[in-house]
């Protein structure tokens, strides 16, 4: 069987986000992209580049194209290549430093289910205990004495530096440590931005999203306005007089699919013209299976996009570690709201994560889990094809959950049946914004009121997964069209 680009990329090489486009063919475009990544500082001196085969698989180009590009840049002095050491950014390839002005409640769920197919959490049994322990031990041994005193509200510099390097390399984020503020997760970021008055509403949000976030915003006095969704993501052309927009561009939550490239550019243009802000929730951007990586919208305009991420999906929500990459003018405002003392994220956990990132353990863990979750996804799709072929599965090219489209009117009874069978999952309607005008959405070809299930395939431990799939298929509505 022919090995896919995903198979090859998972086996070897770290993630590296590059935009390979423009005149002169793929080789010339790749050379330009790599040269610019080094020049801008996204790839720091000494950074080891992925092997030819790994990068070629990620970008969908020939192996020789990558080999030729590396050779050209070695000849120009941008890269170095040594036997046994791989290809690295040359020490003298110093980047250009740019001046930066840095100055609804979630659905109710059954307790103690026999089969946990809830979205939003990784497999807790796969937490990398040994690697994390090693990073924690190194961080503790190397920590300066000041670590055990009052903290910096921005977060430890070691973590902010490691995140700046990783996010630039793997997600195409353009930033520096001074623009990163550590927080305890996405909800904490929203509280800092809106609860503290740094940003104000009205806020446009996707018509499907987490009710918990909407309730949090409502408690801060922020009105949310739903944006229609279609197969290309949020209809950003429907943005009006809102001051900001919250999007999940890499993988729309929960319906799936990336925001179309034209709409990514359009929402940045809107923010520039309106003087508004785009909030980018990159909640599971590391996990993609049947498509090439989608870079962060933040890379299009760092002064108009607030990029928010965390380790809740990649490692564990128990760590309570997240980050905001902010436009320069917002940094001091966020820090003022946060206060003089860091009371949210353990400094030692921050140092451990910094080591985990810098040592390559995070890359290795993500690649391993990407393979594991893709296998889970494939088994879910295969089980449905065999036992419920009339049920359409969508949103499975990336992420940790799938959407199962149900016949109209069957969602409530299916969710109730799942509860009776000890299956914890969510109905799709639970994520729909309450002010969504389904008739207006249908008129423009957008997603209206749909019946469905949101099924998390990452949550169950491996030994319980087959039984969970069997139970799920047993509660799905029958095909009455046959």
For the chain, which domains are there?
Answer: 5-89 (1.10.10.10), 115-119+363-475 (3.90.1150.10), 128-358 (3.40.640.10)
Q: What is the pLDDT of residue 12?
A: 43
DSSP letter, residue 288: B
pTM: 0.81
Q: Which of 42, 305, 80 is nearest to 170 (CA)?
A: 42
Q: Which pLDDT tens digit goes with each residue over 285-295? A: 888 888 777 88
Query: Residue 2 and residue 8: Cα distance in Å, rounded?
Result: 11
Number of residues assigned to the chain: 482
Residue 86 backbone dihedrals phi, psi, to 5 degrees:
75, -170
Q: What is the pLDDT of residue 92?
A: 56
Distances (CA, A) of 377 to 134, 289, 373: 31, 9, 6
Q: What is the pLDDT of residue 112?
A: 64
DSSP 390-455: TSEEES-SBSSEEEEE--TT-HHHHHHHHHHTTEE-EEGGGGB-TT--HHHHHHTT---S--EEEE
Query: Residue 93 and residue 115: Cα distance in Å, rounded?
Result: 53
Query: Residue 302 and residue 79: Cα distance in Å, rounded?
Result: 27
Which residue is listed with tokens 């914004």?
433
Q: What is the pLDDT of residue 98?
A: 42
Q: Which pLDDT tens digit goes with each residue over 102-154? A: 444 444 443 468 899 999 889 999 999 999 999 999 999 999 998 888 888 99
Query: Residue 7 and residue 307: Cα distance in Å, rounded?
Result: 29
Q: Which pLDDT tens digit goes with each residue over 173-194? A: 999 999 999 999 999 999 999 9
Counting as low any pLDDT under 70, the low residues of the chain are 1-14, 83-84, 92-112, 340-344, 438-448, 480-482
Q: What is the pLDDT of residue 149?
A: 85
Q: Which of 24, 48, 19 is nearest to 34 (CA)?
A: 19
């Amino acid at each position: 069987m022919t090995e896919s680009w995903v198979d090859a990329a998972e086996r070897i090489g770290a993630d590296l986000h590059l935009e390979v486009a423009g005149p002169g063919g793929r080789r010339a475009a790749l050379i330009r992209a790599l040269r610019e990544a080094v020049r801008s500082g996204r790839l720091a001196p000494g950074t080891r580049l992925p092997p030819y085969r790994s990068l070629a698989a990620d970008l969908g180009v020939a192996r020789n194209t990558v080999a030729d590009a590396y050779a050209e840049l070695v000849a120009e002095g941008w890269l170095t290549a040594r036997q046994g050491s791989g290809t690295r950014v040359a020490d003298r390839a110093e980047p250009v430093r740019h001046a930066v002005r840095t100055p609804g409640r979630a659905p109710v769920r059954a307790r103690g289910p026999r089969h946990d197919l809830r979205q939003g959490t990784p497999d807790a049994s796969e937490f990398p205990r040994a690697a994390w322990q090693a990073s924690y031990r190194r961080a503790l041994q190397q920590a300066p004495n000041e670590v055990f005193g009052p903290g910096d509200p921005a977060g430890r510099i070691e973590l902010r530096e490691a995140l700046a390097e990783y996010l630039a390399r793997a997600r195409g984020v353009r930033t520096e440590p001074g623009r990163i503020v550590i927080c305890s997760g996405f909800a904490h970021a929203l509280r800092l931005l809106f609860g503290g008055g740094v940003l104000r509403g009205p806020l446009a949000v996707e018509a499907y999203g987490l009710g918990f976030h909407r309730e949090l915003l409502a408690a801060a006095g922020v009105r949310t306005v739903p944006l229609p969704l279609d197969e290309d993501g949020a209809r950003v052309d429907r943005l009006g007089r809102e001051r900001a927009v919250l999007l999940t561009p890499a993988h729309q939550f929960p319906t799936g699919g990336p925001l179309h490239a034209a709409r990514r550019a359009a929402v940045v243009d809107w923010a520039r013209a309106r003087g508004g802000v785009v909030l980018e929730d990159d909640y599971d951007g590391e996990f993609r299976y049947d498509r090439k990586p989608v870079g962060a919208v933040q890379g299009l305009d760092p002064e108009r996009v607030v990029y928010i991420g965390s380790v809740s999906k990649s490692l564990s929500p128990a760590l309570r570690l997240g980050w905001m990459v902010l436009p320069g003018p917002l940094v001091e405002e966020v820090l003022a709201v946060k206060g003089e003392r860091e009371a949210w994220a353990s400094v030692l956990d921050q140092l451990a994560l910094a080591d985990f990132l810098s040592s390559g353990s995070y890359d290795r863990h993500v690649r391993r889990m990407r393979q594991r979750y893709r296998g889970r996804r494939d088994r879910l799709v295969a089980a449905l094809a065999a036992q419920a072929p009339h049920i359409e599965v969508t949103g499975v090219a990336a992420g940790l959950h799938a959407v199962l489209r149900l016949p109209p009117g069957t969602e409530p009874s299916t969710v109730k049946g799942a509860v009776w069978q000890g299956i914890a999952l969510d109905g799709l309607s639970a994520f729909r914004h309450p002010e969504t005008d389904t008739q207006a959405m249908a008129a423009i070809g957008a997603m209206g009121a749909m019946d469905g299930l949101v099924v998390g395939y990452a949550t169950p431990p491996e030994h319980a997964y087959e039984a969970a799939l069997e139970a799920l298929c047993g509660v799905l509505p029958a095909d009455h069209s046959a």
